[in-house]
Amino acid sequence: KNPKIDTWRRKYEETLEAYAELDDKKKIESLPPLCHTCHVARPLRSKHCRVNRKCVLVFDHYCPFVDNTVGLYNYRYFYFFLMTTTFALCTFVITLIIYSRRYKAEYSSLPWITLLLGLEVGICLLPVAGMLMYHTQLTMVNLTTNEHMNVRKYKYLFPTVNGHRRYRNPWFKGWMGNMMDRMQPSDACYIIPKEHEPLQSSMNSS
């Protein structure tokens, strides 16, 4: 249980009361988004997972291969899972090539059954390595899969500046800072930094 869940549930009740009392459209739009399933006021970057039926901080995606939702606190384990699986498949392919060459040198033929079975395993390297490259790119710019696929949907990534919507990532800290941010999860991963507070005000007024 997240220690801040009680705060978000209290904020949910307060926001519901504010909806009933406010009639100013701009003030209403500045209120935090609510999840009526979990009864919480959702922090930025969070989303309700329809598979696990709960809100997830810094929601990335639901992964059927690990049978879990990837979010703030387990993203680094998912990333390491991709790294180790890619490394294991690379070593498997290299071992298969070395074995085939030695087999051919000794028997003057190729171990076709072994090669076919090995090819079936080795072909998994392509999607896994592709996923690793994709998530490396996301990590270096401090975006989640959900944000990348719906980037224009979120006002905190596409606020209105001087009458035009422009891409601004308030959590961008340089590629090394972004990597550390994703590998060392904290509240700073979803709370807009103070230097970007004017950005938040423009987001609320858009």
Q: Among this protein's residues, is 63 annotated catalytic?
A: yes
CB contact at 8 A, 35 and 42: yes
Of the candidates 50, 38, 51, 49, the one whose C-alpha atom is nearest the C-alpha of residue 2 is 38
The stretches of the chain forming alpha helices (DSSP H) are: 5-21, 25-29, 75-107, 112-122, 125-141, 145-149, 174-183, 197-205
- What is 11-31 written as a DSSP string? HHHHHHHHHHH---HHHHHTS
C-alpha 97, offset from chain centre: 35
Catalytic-labelled residue, pool 38, 63, 90, 124: 63
Q: Which residue has the tokens 């009933």?
A: 20
Euclidean distance between CA atoms 133 and 106, whole angstroms: 38
> What is the Cα–Cα distance from 186 to 179, expressed in whole angstroms?
13
Catalytic positions are 63
